[in-house]
């Protein structure tokens, strides 16, 4: 008789609780192993949990954090489903699901593909973005019924792909609605996150979830747009360059000057340094000509200058610069930094003379108009 009583009581559950040792479990089905729940059993629901009783696939009572003695008084719905009109004292069977209601953070999202935007400065631009979001279960009944079902253990990994897609698709609608230039989007990531949360919260609530927070951590721009932004920043830093074409010219001359075995490139590099050091920038037509000259120097092999080639010094702001060969002087003329009235000198000349009066330099100014009459 004693052995039979021990066996019977061993098959009855009198303490129901769940200690979560994971970081990703949303719903956990209490394991009964077909044992019956004892009338008057103790139910413990800890902070950050809710317990849901289900009878034959139908949701019954839901318990918030606390300690409960399971009787007909605190199981009104289950009592009605089982027809316990006058109370009961016998064991019963019911499925118990513990729902984790704490906040789940650092879940990642990203756009499934670039979002096409119209930008006033760059035209049509394809933009990407990514970030993190936080959720918690708001309605256990809806979540178990529509999402987790009868799974013994349901984790964030099983739903994260679906949620990530919802956020990633919706931000492709939100970014163009801001009406901002693409280079200003990163300054509005907090606004984007707030708009996303407001726009998609209802979709999460329909799944029994609360979208607690959405963070936009980065906006990805095409490589060509990033390069254009970098060049504009460089122009602003240089200060004395007044047009994008002039910046491109200076870059081309620098590249030519650093090309190995290129005497013309070296001359142009000195010419560019002289031009910027003197603070004198040519007009756009002259800059375009310098860029073409630099491009030609990069794509052709120019032999070193002959020993007999003339080398001239140039007067710049009361100081002499050089000497420069004819190629370098031509570059300065095209850039507008060497003019006819600039003083020049080479070995063998008695004194400094205006460049326009030196016969050897006449060809340099052949394509330039003469000075206006005074």
The CATH code of the domain that includes 179 is 3.30.479.30
Rounded Cα distance between 143 and 200, Å, is 17
pLDDT tens digits, residue range 215-272?
Answer: 998 888 877 777 777 776 666 655 554 555 666 666 666 666 666 655 444 444 444 4
Mean pLDDT of 29-50: 89
The torsion defined by the Cα of 301, 302, 307 and 309, in degrees rounded to 10, comes to: 180
Asked if 336 and 298 sit in the same domain, the reply is yes
Task: Pick 352 or 95 by higher pLDDT.
Answer: 95
pLDDT at residue 275 in the model: 46
Asked if 290 and 359 sit in the same domain, the reply is yes
Does the pLDDT value for residue 106 go beyond 60?
A: yes
Asked if 149 and 165 sit in the same domain, the reply is yes
Does the pLDDT value for residue 331 go beyond 70?
A: yes
Of 224, 253, 273, which residue constitutes the final position of a domain? 224
Q: Does any domain span residue 357?
A: yes
Asked if 247 and 356 sit in the same domain, the reply is yes
Asked if 11 and 83 sit in the same domain, the reply is yes
Asked if 130 and 78 sit in the same domain, the reply is no
Q: Does any domain span residue 230?
A: no
pLDDT at residue 308 in the model: 60
Q: What is the mean pLDDT of the chain?
A: 79
Asked if 184 and 266 sit in the same domain, the reply is no
- Mutual orientation of helices 284-299 and 326-334 as an angle, nearest 10°? 150
Q: Does any domain span residue 231?
A: no
Which residues have CB under 8 Å from 114's CB, separation 6+?
126, 127, 128
Mean pLDDT of 14-43: 89
Inter-residue contact 341 to 361 (CB < 8 Å): no
Asked if 280 and 358 sit in the same domain, the reply is yes
Q: Does any domain span residue 87?
A: yes
Asked if 249 and 316 sit in the same domain, the reply is yes
What band does 326 get if pLDDT is binned at 50, 70 and 90?
Answer: confident
Of 224, 252, 282, which residue constitutes the final position of a domain? 224
Q: How many separate domains does the chain show?
A: 3
Residue 192: enclosing H or E segment and its boundaries?
Answer: helix 189-205
Which of 162, 175, 271, 256 has the alpha carbon at shortest distance from 206?
Answer: 162
What band does 9 get if pLDDT is binned at 50, 70 and 90?
Answer: very low
Asked if 141 and 36 sit in the same domain, the reply is no
Asked if 243 and 351 sit in the same domain, the reply is yes
DSSP string, 195-220: HHHHHHHHHHHTTTEEEEEEEEEEEE
pLDDT tens digits, residue range 128-173?
Answer: 889 999 999 999 999 999 999 888 999 999 999 999 989 988 888 8
Asked if 184 and 270 sit in the same domain, the reply is no
Does the pLDDT value for residue 36 go beyond 60?
A: yes
pLDDT at residue 102 in the model: 95
Q: What is the largest CA-CA distance in the chain?
A: 135
- Inter-CA distances, 61 with 20, 25, 46, 96, Å: 21, 21, 16, 10
For 28, the domain range is: 2-100
Dig out the tokens for 301 from the structure: 């092999």
Percentage of the chain lying above the pLDDT 70 cut:
75
Q: Does any domain span residue 374?
A: no
Radius of gyration, CA atoms only, the chain? 40
């Amino acid at each position: 008789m004693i052995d039979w009583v021990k066996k019977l009581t061993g098959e009855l559950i009198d303490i129901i609780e769940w200690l979560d040792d994971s970081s990703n479990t949303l719903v956990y089905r209490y394991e009964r192993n077909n044992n019956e729940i004892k009338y008057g059993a103790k139910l413990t629901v800890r902070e950050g949990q809710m317990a849901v009783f289900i009878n034959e696939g139908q949701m019954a009572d839901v318990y918030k954090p606390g300690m409960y003695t399971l009787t007909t008084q605190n199981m009104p719905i289950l009592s009605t489903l089982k027809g316990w009109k006058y109370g009961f004292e016998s064991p019963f069977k019911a499925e118990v699901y513990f729902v984790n209601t704490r906040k789940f953070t650092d879940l990642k999202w990203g756009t499934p593909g670039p979002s096409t935007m119209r930008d006033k400065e760059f035209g049509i631009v394809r933009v990407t973005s990514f970030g993190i979001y936080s959720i918690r279960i708001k309605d256990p009944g809806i979540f178990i019924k529509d999402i987790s079902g009868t799974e013994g253990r349901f984790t964030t990994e099983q739903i994260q792909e679906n949620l990530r897609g919802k956020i990633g698709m919706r931000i492709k609608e939100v970014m163009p609605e801001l009406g901002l230039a693409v280079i200003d989007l990163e300054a509005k990531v907090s606004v984007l996150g707030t708009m996303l949360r407001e726009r998609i919260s209802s979709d999460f609530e329909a799944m029994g979830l609360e979208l607690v927070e959405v963070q936009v951590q980065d906006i990805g721009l095409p490589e060509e747009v990033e390069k254009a932004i970098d060049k504009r920043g460089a122009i602003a830093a240089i200060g004395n360059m007044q047009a994008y074409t002039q910046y491109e010219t200076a870059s081309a001359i620098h590249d030519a000057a650093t090309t190995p075995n290129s005497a013309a490139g070296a001359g142009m590099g000195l010419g560019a340094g002289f031009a910027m050091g003197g603070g004198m920038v040519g007009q756009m037509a002259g800059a375009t000509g310098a860029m073409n000259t630099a491009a030609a120097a990069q794509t052709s092999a120019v032999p070193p200058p002959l020993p007999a080639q003339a080398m001239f010094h140039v007067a710049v702001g009361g100081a002499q610069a050089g000497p420069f060969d004819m190629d370098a002087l031509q570059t300065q003329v095209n850039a507008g930094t060497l003019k006819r009235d600039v003083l020049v000198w080479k070995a063998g000349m008695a004194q400094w003379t205006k460049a326009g009066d030196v016969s050897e330099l006449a060809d340099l100014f052949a394509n330039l108009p003469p000075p206006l009459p005074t």
